[in-house]
Each structure stands twice: as C-alpha cells, then as structure tokens.
Amino acid sequence: MTTIDNTAFDTLLAGRPLMAIFRGLGARRSLELARQAWSLGIDVVELPIQSEADLEALAAVAEAGRAEGRVVGAGTVVAVRHVEQAAAAGAAFTVSPGLDERVVRASFEAGLPPLPGVATATEVQQAMALGLTWLKAFPASLLGPAWFGAMSGPFPAARFVATGGMDASNAGVFLARGVRTVAVGSAFEDPEQLPALAALLAER
C-alpha cells in the first residue's frame, strides 16, 4: 500500500500561526475577507465546501490566491468526491473534521496534503500510523489548551492545528501550549477582532 504523509505542511504552515476559515459566505464575500486576511499577514485560507456555491467561492479565492502567492485549501472534506471537487477548484490542501483513511489517501494521491481532524489519543495514534504528522484538533475550544500538552507526551512528533471556537481572545493561549497554527473563522466578521489578530501576528 502506498505510503502517505502530509509533511508538506512543514512548509505550508511554517511561520504561520494563524489560518483563516470562511464558511458559506459566497464568492464575493469570501474574496473580500481573504484579501483582508492576506493584508494582515494571514497567508493561508480554508474554505469549507458543502454546496455548489462553496465550490465557486473556493475556485475564486484559490485563483486570487495563486496570483498573490497565497495558500488556499478546501475544508469539510468528508468524502472522496469532495477531494475530487477540491482538486478541480484549485485547492492546495484538504481539511477534514474527522479521520477517514479513504479521504486521506485520496487527497494525498491527488497531490493535496490532507489535514484530518482528531480529538482523542486513539485518533492521533491512528493518524500517525498512516504516516501523518500534521493534525487538526477539533473542536479545539472544547478540548481545551491542556489537551495539547497531554498529547505532546506520547506523541512528540505530532503537530497540531487548533480549529473550532478560536478567535483573538484565546488563540495566544493555544499557541503558547504548543499549537503550531490556530484557525479562526467568524472573528473576521468582527471589526474589533482584526486589530487583535494583527497584534497577535506581530508578537510571533
């Protein structure tokens, strides 16, 4: 069986403590927010794909991202057909809420580094047994910052992206616990959050 990995995130997320998620906002609004994120220095953007409109938005943002040297991925990838749709729309990687080996392998074989979701030691162990080192901890706000310290003991090679309930008020706490990247979503709809996110980036 083909050996898989997602070490591409070593480069994709290197020095990038924040990632933006824009869910169900349509192409126009997603582009506006993506450019806003890029202007703040948040180079990596994820667009969940749960409808045809989401795929159109992904294609538009991915095209704009390529023109500006930004990285755009597809989120909520829970089936092999979603991997195919993500690739067709120009995504650079896939993100899933859970761990599904079929989705992971399809993504890797399509040239899209997979970032599967985990929430337990069992899932972390299973993902790493497949060859994955970068994992999405979801829902991070419910798992809590201490979860990451607990996982670092048995799984020192694991690199986590914290997703779910993240914003400027708690991102720093998770980063301080060893999280490599924090993914924020609705914070971009709140003007008061933007200066705080910019300040957080300036500290890194």
* Residues known to be catalytic: 46, 136
Q: For residue 57, which amino acid is it?
A: A
The answer to whether residues 127 and 135 touch, using CB atoms and an 8 Å cutoff, is yes
Cα–chain center distance at 86: 14
Q: What angle do CA 144, 73, 155 make, to 5 degrees?
A: 40
User: Please, is 56 exposed, middle or buried when counting C-beta atoms within 10 Å of its C-beta (0-12, 13-18, 19+)?
Assistant: middle
3-class SS of residue 199: helix
Q: Chain-centre distance of CA 116, in angstroms?
A: 9
